[in-house]
Amino acid sequence: MTPEDVLQFARERGVKMVDFKFVDIPGTWQHFSVPIRELEENTFIEGKPFDGSSIRGFQTIDESDMLIIPDPDTAIMDPFTALPTLSLVCNIAHPGPGMHKKPYSRDPRYIAQKAEEYLRSSGIADTSYFGPEAEFFIFDNVRFNSANNIQYAEVDSDEAYWNNSRDGSANLGHRMRVKEGYFPVAPNDTLQDVRSEMALILEELGVLVEAQHHEVGGAGQAEIDIRFNTLLKTADNLMLYKYVTKNTARKHGKTVTFMPKPIFGDNGSGMHVHQSLWSGEKPLFYDSEGYAGLSQLARYYVGGLLTHAPALLGIVASTTNSYKRLVPGFEAPVNLVFSKGNRSAAVRIPLTDCPSAKRIEFRPPDPTANPYLAFSALLMAGLDGVRREIDPSEHGYGPVDRDLYHMPEEELREIRSVPGSLDDALNALEADHSFLLEGGVFTTDVLEHFVELKRAQADEIRLRPTPIEFALYYDV
């Protein structure tokens, strides 16, 4: 759309308010709204001012004046407001004259735009496609508190197996056992209509949905698979995906969380990220003669991902809770090898003979990641592998076509693994980040602020006792 198209779109739909959305460093949408009369064609050039010091990871108070610049291509009608409201995703810029406003280096969306430009300038490819599989839980209730003398969290789902003995209201059974939530039909699956409503709203907003289903976690775990798209567009779509799932659930008196591990003993929520490179209309990851149909360029890309995986985890699994999911010996893909059709490997090569569908899947990420930073970092790692011709087989990354979850311990010790904590991942990111700085895609300033923010979160966890520590140590 052009700015003129957006204004016409708004007139045709009787828009009363305009909502400007933008993303902070951790990856959460922020917003403010104005009456429709405040939106003019010039707004897409001059922007609207806001206080950058009040946004996590942005400006200090002495340099707080910032601008949002709406992107006309993101115009949609917000499906959850009572009044007709136009939604626009925005870039961030410094104030300046006319069209010469300087993009803000800490704007995650700007980083994604620079990553796409770096790819085009590299001569390797001109388009990168990303397809995330973001899992989430739909709960009926959540309670948590963290005070000086109180530490607790409680979630509940009517689908959960622990409710089989519930008393005081109708108890109709038909609940899924732990880790048996994959593809059950009703009455066990009670969330079909809620997920379908989420999927259809996404479709109405232009986000194509390939499938929706119950996931392995018995207590309300879900997945809606959205169609792959270019890096920036997919990151925009994933932000919209979170917005739609959370608000649709709330409309039904339920709550959605993208926490990687909200329940002990059941599967966590990951975000497997499918990736491929194209040049014009030509897919670059396919070779009928290669292992699992992979081209040599794709192997180099995989080599870059696996080589830089410890550092990448600081961005793509960026919470302390991420490492409750990424535990060796459990369901998460912590083993740094590649393999065809193997979900126990960090990099899975989906089995397909279709050149246009040939892709690689990086499995350790989770949906707490900022998608703009995560997809950009993955692309930069893959391109570094291509540029340096890092063949994964020559660096001890496989292929390993075996069930790594049941491999003998002595053999498993020979396979490298992802970091075991957020602190370890951030240490790896500090030690290995030059590949992210290529082409000015990431900056040292952005990475320093990101690490500082994440270390502060890790400190919050480190300082607090947890309920299980009382169970283990209270009576020593």
pLDDT at 169: 75
Question: Could you identify the residue written with the tokens 């369901």?
Answer: 331
Whether pLDDT at 123 is above 90: yes
Among residues 363, 366, 423, 433, which one is catalytic? 363
Q: Is residue 369 part of a domain?
A: yes
Please indicate whether residue 215 is annotated as part of the active site.
Answer: yes
Q: Is residue 238 part of a domain?
A: yes
Q: Mean pLDDT across the stretch 204-222?
A: 95
Characterise 265 by phi-psi region: left (phi > 0), alpha (psi -120 to 50), beta (else): left
Q: Is residue 55 part of a domain?
A: yes
pTM score, whole prediction: 0.96
Whether pLDDT at 38 is above 90: yes
- Encoded tokens for 231: 């890096």
d(CA 194, CA 190): 9
Please indicate whether residue 361 is annotated as part of the active site.
Answer: yes
Average pLDDT, the chain: 94
Counting every residue, how long is the chain?
476
pLDDT at 117: 98
Q: Which of 41, 76, 104 is the endpoint of a domain?
A: 104
Q: Give yes or no for a contact between 130 and 241, defined as CB atoms under 8 angstroms apart.
A: no
Residue 145 CB-half CA count within 13 A: 4
Q: Which of 104, 136, 163 is the endpoint of a domain?
A: 104
- 299 and 370 in a single domain? The answer is yes
- Encoded tokens for 255: 């709550």
User: What is the DSSP secondary-structure string of 35-50?
Assistant: EGGG--TTHHHH-EEE
- Encoded tokens for 213: 């289903």
Please indicate whether residue 38 is annotated as part of the active site.
Answer: no
Q: Is residue 288 part of a domain?
A: yes
- 79 and 161 in a single domain? The answer is no
Residues 17-36 have pLDDT tens digits of 999 999 999 999 999 999 99
Number of independent structural domains in the chain = 2
- 285 and 341 in a single domain? The answer is yes
- 129-133, 303-307, 382-386, 411-415: least confidently modelled range: 411-415
Among residues 135, 140, 189, 384, which one is catalytic? 135
- 387 and 298 in a single domain? The answer is yes
Distances, alpha carbon 395 to alpha carbons 85, 114, 389, 413, in Å: 53, 30, 11, 16
Please indicate whether residue 272 is annotated as part of the active site.
Answer: yes
Domain that holds residue 53: 3-104
Q: Is residue 113 part of a domain?
A: no
Confidence of residue 99 (pLDDT cuts 50, 70, 90): low
Q: Is residue 116 part of a domain?
A: no
Please indicate whether residue 51 is annotated as part of the active site.
Answer: yes
More confident residue, 331 or 2: 2
Whether pLDDT at 198 is above 80: yes
- 343 and 200 in a single domain? The answer is yes
Q: Is residue 110 part of a domain?
A: no
Whether pLDDT at 157 is above 90: yes
Please classify residue 335 by burial: count the beta carbons closer than 10 Å to its beta carbon, then call 0-12 exposed, 13-18 middle and 19+ buried: buried
Whether pLDDT at 273 is above 80: yes
Alpha helices in 263-417 (DSSP H): 296-307, 309-316, 322-325, 371-388, 409-412
Among residues 78, 107, 133, 140, which one is catalytic? 133
Residues 332-357 have pLDDT tens digits of 789 999 999 888 899 999 999 999 99
